[in-house]
């Protein structure tokens, strides 16, 4: 069953931004990373419930998290050879003026969408 039509339904989906890392390297002074690319994305964004937050690693279990459903691939931190986007740090989702770091992702490829949980970056 392909659910692409559901995650793109204009009655429940909305536009948001993904800031995607294009890699980086360690050098004098530490980690340096070029400016991220900006992707305009469309999908369903909702507030994460307590059960969803409890599935995150302990350090990410905060009260401000969102769940994203979209047909656009979403990534957590990855090294060269993982996934199709190359190395990089976790995607940053910009939604309603706030930034959220992607903490968990599942590719429901057989159903036509990606599911992710992102935690709010305080002070960003």
- What does the pLDDT look like over 69-113, one tens digit per residue? 999 999 998 876 555 567 788 999 999 999 999 999 999 989 999
The matching CATH number, chosen from 2.40.10, 1.10.287, 2.30.110, 1.10.540, for 4-120 is 2.40.10
Over residues 66-71, the mean pLDDT reads: 96
Q: Which segments of the chain are extended strands (E)?
A: 14-20, 25-27, 30-32, 37-47, 65-70, 92-95, 98-108, 113-120
Q: Where are the domains of the chain?
A: 4-120
User: Distance (Å, rounded) from C-alpha 86 to C-alpha 101?
Assistant: 18
CA distances to 62, 78, 99, 102, 112 from 122, rounded to whole Å, are: 11, 23, 8, 14, 32
Q: Tokens at residue 23, please? A: 């890699």
* pTM of the full structure: 0.84
35 pLDDT exceeds 80? yes
Q: Is 43 or 123 the better-scoring residue by pLDDT?
A: 43
Q: Tokens at residue 48, please? A: 């994460």
At residue 37 the predicted structure's pLDDT band, cuts being 50, 70 and 90, is very high
How much is the mean pLDDT over the chain?
A: 87
Q: Tokens at residue 81, please? A: 């050879």
Share of the chain above pLDDT 70, in %: 90
């Amino acid at each position: 069953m392909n659910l692409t039509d559901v995650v793109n339904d204009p009655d429940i989906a909305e536009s948001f931004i993904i800031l995607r890392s294009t890699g980086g390297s360690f050098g004098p002074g530490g980690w340096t990373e070029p400016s991220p690319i900006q992707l305009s994305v469309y999908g369903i964004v909702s507030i994460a419930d307590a059960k969803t937050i409890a599935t995150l690693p302990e350090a990410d279990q905060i009260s401000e998290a969102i769940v994203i459903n979209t047909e656009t691939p979403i990534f957590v931190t990855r090294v060269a050879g993982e996934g199709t986007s190359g190395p990089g740090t976790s995607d940053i989702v910009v939604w309603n003026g706030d930034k959220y770091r992607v903490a968990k992702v599942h590719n429901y490829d057989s159903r036509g969408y990606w599911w992710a949980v992102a935690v709010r970056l305080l002070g960003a």
